[in-house]
Structures are given as C-alpha cells and as structure tokens.
Amino acid sequence: MKESYTNELQKLYDDERVSPFIQEICEYYASSRDYEDGSYIEEIEPREIVEPVYILFFLQRRETLLDELSYVKKKYPALFEAVSDLHEEILIHMDIRSLESKSSQRLVAAMDGKIASAQIFDKIEELADRYDELSEALDPFYSWLHSFS
C-alpha cells in the first residue's frame, strides 16, 4: 500500500469524527488499489460482493456518511482519492432507489441468482436498524449471504 495511504489510515483510525464504517471503506478502497493483479482474491471478499454491499449499507445513512466523506476529503486527501469514485456515484444518485436497485442486482448476479433483491433489502434494513455502527452489521450480513452459497 502506498505510504501516503498508510500514514493517513493511521491518523484516520484515531479520528473520532470518522465512523468505523467509513474507516473500513477507506481501507478497503485504498488497499484494493494495490491488488490490481487479482492477488487480493484469497484475502478479502470478491469485489462483486463487497462493493455493492458497501453501497447498500452506505445508503442506509446516506447524508451522515456523505458528510463524513466530505470531512475525509478535506483532512485525508490521499485516502479520499481512493474512495472518490464511490463518493461520486452516491452523490449523483439523488434518487437512491436506482442505485439500490443497481447494487442489489450486482449482488444477485455475484451470488448466481441464489438470492433475491427483496431479501437483500430486508436483511440490510434489519441489520442497519439493529446496529448503531454499520461496520458491526457487515459480518452478520456476510454470514447470512454465505448461507446461500
């Protein structure tokens, strides 16, 4: 990982203004840039699953999380560079239903159609309501998702 990412990540983790969910997203996108050759496959969930999951959870608290990313942009510009495409995609979709639909369809395709969009929406809403911190909801979601594999 680039040294600028590493330095900023260390500071980001100590910054109380940034939620663990946004910290995780920043780390994921910054570190995944180092895995362009596909070597990340054994270390993390496939992009086809992770990226739509992040978007779907992000949309549960869109305004608050967009504010956090704006703060990251000002305070940690190298890290923001890694998440700028995600930030832009969320910003341009004022009607979040189309982005939710697109992201859930990507996830359905990644799961070879073994799960329906409605099930995904229901589970994400349930977990987002149950957990104050979205990063804590990710592991139960992935466990649930893998029960369909």
Mean pLDDT of the chain: 91
The answer to whether residue 92 scores a pLDDT higher than 60 is yes
Is the model's pLDDT at 112 over the cut of 80? yes
* Mean pLDDT, residues 95-121: 95
Neighbouring C-beta atoms of residue 18, cutoff 10 Å? 21
Q: Is the predicted pLDDT of residue 40 greater than 60, yes or no?
A: no
Is the CB of residue 26 less than 8 Å from the CB of residue 83?
A: yes
In the DSSP assignment, the letter for residue 4 is: H
Question: CA 71 → CA 48, 64, 74, distances in Å?
Answer: 27, 11, 5
* Boundaries of every domain in the chain: 3-146
For the question of whether the overall pTM of this predicted structure is more than 0.85, the answer is yes
Q: What is the 3-state secondary structure (H, E, C) of the chain?
A: CCHHHHHHHHHHHHCCCCCHHHHHHHHHHHHHHHHCCCHHHHCCCCHHHHHHHHHHHHHHHHHHHHHHHHHHHHHCHHHHHHHHHHHHHHHHCCCHHHHHHHHHHHHHHHCCCCCCHHHHHHHHHHHHHHCCCHHHHHHHHHHHHHCCC
Which of the two residues, 4 and 70, has the higher pLDDT score?
70
